[in-house]
Structure 1
Amino acid sequence: MTGAADLRQTLRDIEVFAGELPDFDPSVAPDTPVELFTEWLLTALSAGVREPHAMTLSTADAGGDPSARVLVLKDVSAEAWQFASDASSRKGRDLAARPYAALTFYWAPLARQVLVRGPVVRETPERCAADFLARGEGARAEALLGRQSQPLADLAERDAQVEASLARLKSEPDLVAPGWTLYSLRPESVEFWQGDKQRRHTRLVYLSSPAGWTKQLLWP
C-alpha cells in the first residue's frame, strides 16, 4: 500500500503544463466575454480536448455550505450560460435557496480555465420541456424517475426502474419530467486564465456594469 509520504511525492512529481501551450494576448481580447469564451471552446474542440463543454457547477445551500459537480453546458449567449437539471436534485434545491452559482471550465491540454459567476434564473416551462425532449432516450428515462440524489438500495433497483421508464417512453414519447428545469446563469464576471510553463500565468476578468463589459488584468 502506498504510504502518505509516497502519495505526497507522487502528486508533486506529476507533470503539469506538458506540451505546446497556446498564446494569449489580453490586449487584443474581444469586447465581450462570450466572444472569447466561444473562441477558446472551439479551440479546445479543434485540439481534441474531450468533452470541452463539461464544467463544474458550484452552488451553496441555504446555510452557505458549498457543493460542486460536473455537468455539460447547454448553450451560451450574450445574456446567459445555460445548464439543466431536475429541480428536486441537490443543485436544484441549492439554486432555489440561493439562486447564484459559478461555472468552471478547465481544458488541461491547453492550460486554460474559465470561471463564470452570476445569478441564476429558471427558464420558461416551454424551454424546459424543449430541452428535456432534446435529450437522449436513456437520459430522459432516468430523469423521469425524479429520484436524483435520493438513497438507492442497490443497482438492480435502478436498472428495473429505468427499464420501466423506457417502456413508458415508448408509449408516451412526448412525456416531459415535471421537475426538469433549464437554468440560465447571467454572468456578472467571467475570468479567463492561461497557464504558462514558467508560471507567468495570464488572468483577464470581464466585469459587467450598466454600461457594458469592462476588462481587468489580475495578478496570477
Structure 2
Amino acid sequence: MSTDPFGLFDAWFAEAQESEPNDPNAMALATADASGRPAARMVLLKGHSPDGFVFYTNRESRKAHDLKENMQAALLFHWKSLRRQIRIEGVVERVSDAESDAYFASRGRDSQLGAWASEQSRPLAARSIFEGRFEAMQFRFEGSDVPRPPHWGGYRVVPDRIEFWQDRAHRLHERRLFTREEAGWTEGLLYP
C-alpha cells in the first residue's frame, strides 16, 4: 500500500479530467455552524497540493459564516462515470490575499463582475435586481481591470483524512483511508 494520498488523488483527478463531461473539479463542500447545523453545496476545486484543496467564494456567504464559526469541513468528489469518490476532511484556513488576487485575475470578466454584483446567500426579491447590479458593475469597471472585491477570496481545506472509494461488484467496494499522523500519512482499509 502507498502512504501518499496526494499522488493517488492526482492520478484519479487526471482520469476524471479525461472522462467526466462536466466539471470534473466539482466537489461537495460540507460545513457546520457553531451550533452544529450542517450545510452542503457544490463548489469547484481551483487548486490542490499536499498543503490542501482550494476553493473560492464570497466571504460573506453562508459557507464563509459557517467556516468563521467552525473551521472544519469535508469535501466529496463523486465521479459517477469512473465509479469512484474521494472524501476529504480537515481544518480550513483562508488563502492569502496574494493567492486570491492571482486566481481572481485569471477569471473571466463576467465572473469577476458577478463577484461584485452578488450578495451571495442573502435574500433576493427579484432576478432583475441582481441583473441591474451586474449592469451597474459593468458600467463601474468599463475600460479598466476588475479588482478582487474585499469580501471575496479563497479557502484551503488542509486534510487530516482522505478516503478513496472504488465501486466493486456485488457492493464489495474498496475503501482506502489515509490518516495524517505526526510522522506522516498512514493507510488502512475500511469495510464497505
| Other-structure match for 1:159 | 131
Preserved CA contact (<8 Å) 2:113 2:146? no
| Other-structure match for 2:153 | 181
Preserved CA contact (<8 Å) 2:180 2:186? yes
The letter of the residue matching 2:94 is R
| Other-structure match for 2:12 | 40
- % of aligned pairs identical? 35
Structure of higher CA gyration radius: 1
Determine whether 1:115 maps to 2:75: no
Whole-Å separation in 1 of the counterparts to 2:144 and 2:35:
40
| Other-structure match for 1:9 | none
Whole-Å separation in 2 of the counterparts to 1:127 and 1:169:
22
Mean Cα deviation higher: 141-150 or 71-80 = 141-150
Whole-Å separation in 2 of the counterparts to 1:166 and 1:210:
50
**Aligned positions, number:** 192
The letter of the residue matching 2:104 is F
Measure how far apart 1:32 and its partner are: 1.1
Measure how far apart 1:95 and its partner are: 0.5
Please tell me the root mean square deviation across aligned C-alpha atoms, in Å: 1.3
- Matches for 1:1-220 after TM superposition, within 5 Å: 27=1, 30-220=2-192
The runs of 5 or more residues in structure 2 that have no matched partner are: none
Measure how far apart 1:146 and its partner are: 4.8
Measure how far apart 1:86 and its partner are: 1.1
Preserved CA contact (<8 Å) 1:49 1:107? no
Measure how far apart 1:110 and its partner are: 1.2
Preserved CA contact (<8 Å) 1:82 1:183? yes
The letter of the residue matching 2:56 is A
Whole-Å separation in 1 of the counterparts to 2:138 and 2:72:
34
Please identify runs of 4+ aligned residues in structure 1 that moved more than 3 A.
none
The runs of 5 or more residues in structure 1 that have no matched partner are: 1-26
Measure how far apart 1:172 and its partner are: 3.5
